[in-house]
Amino acid sequence: MQCEKLFYNDSFATTFTAEVVDCFENKDHFAIVLDKTLFYPEGGGQPCDHGVIRFGGNTAEIFDVREKNGVICHYSRTPIEIGTVIDGEIDFERRFDLMQQHTGEHIVSGIVHSLFGYDNVGFHLSEKDMSLDFSGPLTKEDIDRVVDMANDIIIKNQPVTADYPDISKLEYRSKKALEGPVRIVTAGEADVCACCGTHLATTGQVQMVAVKDSMNYKGGTRIFLGCGKRVYADYYAKTAQCLDISHALSAKTDEISSKVNDKIAECESLKAALAAAKDELFSFWVKDVPAGDVGFMAKDGLSSVEIQRLCSKINEKCTTACVVAKQTDGTSKICLFSSVCDTNKVGRAICTALGGKGGGKPGIFQGTFTADGDVETLLKGALND
Ligand SMILES: [Zn+2]
């Protein structure tokens, strides 16, 4: 028996009564089949409904709904006896959010198609995100124009309808050639498209569309779209971030971008000045190292780049140079430069003795270790092996 798809009669209905016609185990849960349902199964890029089924004082949570070979399965951890009459209720907050995104997607895709002739070749919609892939390039100005037009269609509050017209002479968007009765969704003057999803009743219910981001994708454009309440949530989250940054920089919110760029440039210049100052300091330290076969130095807190730089300076006076730097997390970094020994063998011997590891290319070894120990003695021992 075919399950009656009540969600197509009224996409705003939230409760229904039905009879269980089948219930079987499926992995670690149960699949419940009803004679009719308001639960939309995942399909056409739209995620499924969630909700509950109540029966005889019990409640079964429905966490997934799938249609397989024409059978709609409601997945739950609770089994229900065949023949039971149930009361179903969908999570309408979730459904409404998904309908806002889906209907907004129609409006935007229809406008892109009519303005640029591009097809929507990829659609992803989840509880958090939505992305649309179009078959051609869109500039930022193109996207702004599409968003403005979409929001105008929303303000016009035009009807969104779904029916089965004669498609022989109808122009509509579709991912593939279709035959037989085709469900055609019309989203105001923006879109005519073959679609099996659930939609809002008017374009005004979408409230608003906004593009969060866009990128070039496979020769076309991927846009990250938000509609309705998701736009407000995004606005509040981004405003909070803007205000935090604005207060931290003592700058007006419309100036934070240029202020951040100024700070980045300032930071780069300070880094360069610090590196030059450290270089002078390293030269000062190295003055005290006697020229010879082995030069060793232990200096806490130096970074990997700094110990390399210091080691290279020592190596200018000594054929083998080694620097060890203890880090704030208790581990130590080691660097070894040599033109006469096998740095990999010597470096590994030291690191292995102190619970660490490392590697490098001929002449240069870098490693880390965790235990405390007399590295200078270990170095001399390893060089004599
Ligand atoms: Zn649709």
Domains of the chain, residue spans: 4-90, 96-236, 251-285, 289-384
pLDDT at residue number 32: 97
What value does the mean pLDDT take over residues 36-47? 93
Mean pLDDT of the 148-170 span: 94
Lowest mean pLDDT: which of 18-27, 154-163, 180-189, 278-287?
180-189
pLDDT band at 258 (very low <50, low <70, confident <90, very high): very high
The answer to whether 333 and 306 are in contact (CB under 8 A) is: no
Burial of residue 123 (CB within 10 Å: 0-12, 13-18, 19+) is middle
340-367: per-residue pLDDT in tens?
A: 999 999 999 999 999 999 999 999 999 9
Q: How many CB atoms lie within 10 A of CB 323?
A: 28
Q: Does 96-236 match 4-90 at the fold level?
A: no
What is the spatial distance between Cα 67 and Cα 240, in angstroms, rounded to a whole number? 42
Q: What is the largest CA-CA distance in the chain?
A: 94
Q: What's the pLDDT tens digit per position in 27-37?
A: 899 999 999 99
CATH architecture of the domain covering 4-90? Beta Barrel (2.40)
Neighbours of ion ligand 1 (CB under 5 A): 185, 195, 197
Query: What confidence score (pLDDT) does residue 295 get?
Result: 95
Work out the pLDDT band at 283, boundaries 50, 70, 90.
very high
pLDDT at residue 175 above 80?
A: no
Give me the chain's average pLDDT, please: 95
Q: Which residues pair with 132 in a beta bridge?
A: 123, 223
Q: How far is the CA of 335 from the centre of ligand 1 (A)?
A: 61
Query: What is the model's pLDDT at position 169?
Result: 83
Average pLDDT over residues 296-317: 96
Q: Which CATH superfamily is domain 96-236 in?
A: Threonyl-trna Synthetase; Chain A, domain 2 (3.30.980.10)
Token pair belonging to 226? 């938000």
Distance of CA 116 to the CA centre of its chain: 28
The mean pLDDT value for 161-190 works out to: 87
Q: What one-character-per-residue DSSP string does 137-188 give?
A: ---HHHHHHHHHHHHHHHHHT-BEEEE----TT---B-SS---SS--EEEET
Confidence of residue 67 (pLDDT cuts 50, 70, 90): very high
Residue 167's pLDDT band (cuts 50, 70, 90): confident
Distance 42 CA to ligand 1 centre (A): 12
Retrieve residue 15's tokens: 């409760």
Q: Give this prediction's pTM.
A: 0.79
Start-to-end CA span in the chain (Å): 84
For residues 283 and 313, the answer to whether their CB atoms sit within 8 Å is yes
Report the distance separating Cα 53 and Cα 61, nearest Å: 7
State the Cα–Cα distance between residues 83 and 300, nearest whole angstrom.
76
- Centre of ligand 1 to C-alpha 41, Å, is 14
What would be the CATH architecture of the domain defined by 289-384? Roll (3.10)
Distance 341 CA to ligand 1 centre (A): 70
